[in-house]
Amino acid sequence: GQQLNQSPQSMFIQEGEDVSMNCTSSSIFNTWLWYKQDPGEGPVLLIALYKAGELTSNGRLTAQFGITRKDSFLNISASIPSDVGIYFCAGPVNAGGTSYGKLTFGQGTILTVHP
Amino acid sequence: DTEVTQTPKHLVMGMTNKKSLKCEQHMGHRAMYWYKQKAKKPPELMFVYSYEKLSINESVPSRFSPECPNSSLLNLHLHALQPEDSALYLCASSQPLRTGSRETQYFGPGTRLLVL
């Protein structure tokens, strides 16, 4: 099936440091989505990528859709304590060129920021 | 506005109770989803509704019964749940795929369910 391998599983960083996480797959994706989830809350969409090679920023966040369409990365610059949470990549499941409205998720990156 | 609302925020129920979770969106989305999420794990898809019709049931036990009364509302009826059903239940919405729209799902804040 279409699985997403997300790494690292967890990160412990100092406030002000930059963060990088990525997702890879053996399958091609047409869309990459990056979500952040705070404890006890639902995932919040950070960045959506729709085109191979696309580089998109949202404040201190930057994400890229890999040119092979099999990977994506998310960077956070100058981290702050409120960046703490779990970050998930996600992409739509495709079968025979048809998407069914199902998302597959990476296993998540747990980010801890020390003040 | 990309808001999906869910009620209640927290729910405690016994194994013999019947309860319902509610979800609402006013973004004009015609696809709505129920997910179950365990701690520190990614969400797991349960059901998909497209144009108010059930299009995907991920082999969910019948003690979970979804309902889509109209294009803005999605319910999940719960009956005779087990303690292992305790989890965060998330609702999401998007434009349905056959509109040619992009596959971006927006999530609600979730209902934290505890089954005793």
The pLDDT tens digits of the residues spanning A59-115 come to: 999 999 999 999 999 999 999 999 999 999 999 876 555 556 789 999 999 999 998
Q: Tokens standing for A36?
A: 């952040």
Q: Give residues with Cβ within 8 angstroms of B65, minimum separation 6.
A: B76, B77, B78, B79
Question: Given a cut of 80, is residue A42 above it in pLDDT?
Answer: yes
Among the partner-chain residues B6, B40, B109, the one whose CB lies closest to the CB of A86 is B40
Contact list, A108 vs chain B (CB under 8 Å):
40-42
**Minimal C-alpha gap between B63 and chain A (Å):** 22
Cα–Cα dist B103/B94, whole Å:
7
Q: What are phi and psi of B27, to 5 degrees?
A: -95, 0
- The position carrying tokens 């048809």 is A98
Q: Average pLDDT of chain B?
A: 92
